[in-house]
């Protein structure tokens, strides 16, 4: 039975275990706007595009009753600026929108198809011609180019990144590291009797170890159900994410030395000796500046694209489904 410690056997990391305006406006977003939790009115007169003051982003409306399919042969009748969404497309899209109710899955699938159709129509209106890059379809390339053209987003400046860093210091700490050994007393989660026996055995072995910690290697070889027993139970150097969650939560709270009680996991009970503990240290700003800049850019980009999609919805003649707003990203 694998113990889930998440490393390698050799003591080096574990035990292996409408009448609508024809054009949609450009939406421009900046980091300062994101930090203020709003996007102000945008004017793009120079580009010949209408002025736009985005309304509050509303949740997407519930589907109309006629939207719900009453049988496998009955599909919603949806049109986007006169273009019908075909049942075959709905059937294909449904697989990407699992939901508890069929009506909800249908609504989400149709919503995604409507947004995609609006984006494709906008590409045609602008006459966008692009070449698909590696790993993307022609449709994906066109939508990507459209977003880049009509939703310019400013990158975060240094001051904003530094402010974010200073306001979120606990996020930027290196992961702690442990070097530990364990003895696994294996039992399956559903076997209550076996788990009771293993717990009692663990308490007895723990008493022996408290009296003589030097016997850990001997007892690991004799009792552990983990391949690491051949190395005295050594798990090697562990960082977060290498073990099963329930074991990790307990393990990384332990101080150096013999752990005072067996630690339970889905695999059984673990007697653990923490040989070395290196707590996380604060990472300098220079080490995380790039990731901060990327995160802040993504936040602004998502809000700007959501508002852009909303303007497309409001400018379109959409039949068969009511969308009060659009919070979907292209490709979702």
What pLDDT is recorded for position 79?
94
pLDDT at 15: 54
Average pLDDT over residues 271-282: 94
**Which pLDDT band holds residue 133 (cuts at 50, 70, 90)?**
confident
Tokens coding 316: 């379109």
Kindly report, residue by residue over 31-87, the tens digit of the pLDDT. Answer: 444 444 433 333 333 333 333 333 333 333 444 444 444 444 478 899 999 999 999
Q: Kindly indicate the confidence band of residue 6, based on its pLDDT and cuts at 50, 70 and 90.
A: low
Per-residue pLDDT of 157-173, as tens digits, reads 999 999 999 999 999 99
Residue 276 pLDDT exceeds 70: yes
CA distances from 47 to 26, 37, 149, 150 (A): 9, 27, 12, 11
Distance CA(123)–CA(103), nearest Å, equals 30
248's tokens: 């990790």
Structure tokens of 118? Answer: 């609006």
Percentage of the chain beyond pLDDT 70 is: 75
CB of 280 within 8 A of CB of 174?
yes
Band (pLDDT 50/70/90 cuts) for residue 103 is confident
Residue 170 φ then ψ, to 5°: -60, -20
* pLDDT exceeds 70 at position 29: no
Alpha carbons 195 and 205: distance in angstroms, whole number: 15
pLDDT of residue 64: 45
Take residue 48 and report the two structure tokens written for it: 């010949």
For the ranges 95-104, 202-211, 228-237, 290-299, which has the lowest average pLDDT?
95-104
Report the C-alpha gap between 182 and 271 in whole angstroms: 5
| pLDDT tens per residue across span 284-295 | 999 999 999 999
70/54 Cα distance (integer angstroms): 37
Give the pLDDT confidence score for residue 307 in this predicted structure: 92
* DSSP conformation class of 213: G
**DSSP character string of 149-171:** HH--BPPPPHHHHHHHHHHTGGG
Average pLDDT, the chain: 81
Asked if residue 134 has pLDDT above 90, the reply is no
- Check residue 142 and give its pLDDT: 92
| pTM, entire model | 0.59
Cα 75 to its chain centre, rounded Å, is: 32
pLDDT of residue 23: 53
Joined together, the tokens standing for residue 220 give 């690991």
């Amino acid at each position: 039975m694998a113990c889930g410690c998440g490393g390698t056997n050799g003591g080096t990391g574990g035990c292996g275990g409408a009448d609508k305006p024809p054009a949609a406006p450009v939406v421009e977003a900046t980091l300062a706007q994101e930090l203020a939790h709003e996007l102000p009115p945008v004017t793009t007169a120079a580009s010949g595009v209408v002025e736009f003051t985005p309304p509050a982003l509303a949740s997407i409306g519930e589907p109309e009753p006629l939207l719900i399919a009453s049988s496998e042969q009955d599909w919603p009748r949806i049109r986007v600026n006169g273009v019908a969404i075909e049942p075959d497309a709905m059937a294909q899209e449904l697989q990407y929108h699992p939901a508890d109710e069929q009506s909800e899955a249908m609504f989400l699938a149709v919503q995604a198809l409507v947004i995609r159709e609006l984006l494709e129509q906008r590409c045609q209106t602008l006459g966008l011609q692009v070449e698909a890059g590696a790993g993307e379809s022609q449709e994906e390339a066109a939508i990507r180019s459209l977003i880049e053209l009509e939703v310019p987003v400013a990158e975060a400046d240094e001051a904003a990144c530094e402010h974010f860093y200073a306001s979120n210091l606990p996020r930027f700490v290196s992961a702690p590291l442990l070097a530990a050994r364990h003895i696994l007393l294996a039992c399956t989660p559903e076997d209550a009797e076996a788990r009771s026996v293993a717990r009692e055995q663990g308490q007895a072995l723990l008493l022996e170890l408290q009296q003589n910690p030097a016997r850990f290697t001997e007892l690991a070889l004799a009792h552990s159900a983990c391949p690491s027993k051949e190395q005295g139970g050594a798990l090697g150097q562990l960082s977060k994410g290498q073990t099963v969650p329930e074991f990790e939560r307990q393990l990384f709270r332990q101080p150096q030395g013999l752990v005072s009680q067996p630690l339970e996991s889905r695999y059984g009970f673990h007697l653990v000796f923490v040989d070395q503990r290196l707590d996380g240290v604060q990472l300098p700003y220079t080490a995380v500046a790039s990731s901060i800049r990327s995160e802040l850019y993504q936040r602004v980009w998502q809000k700007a694209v959501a508002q852009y999609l909303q303007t497309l919805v409001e400018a379109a003649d959409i039949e068969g489904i009511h969308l009060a707003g659009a919070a979907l990203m292209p490709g979702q």
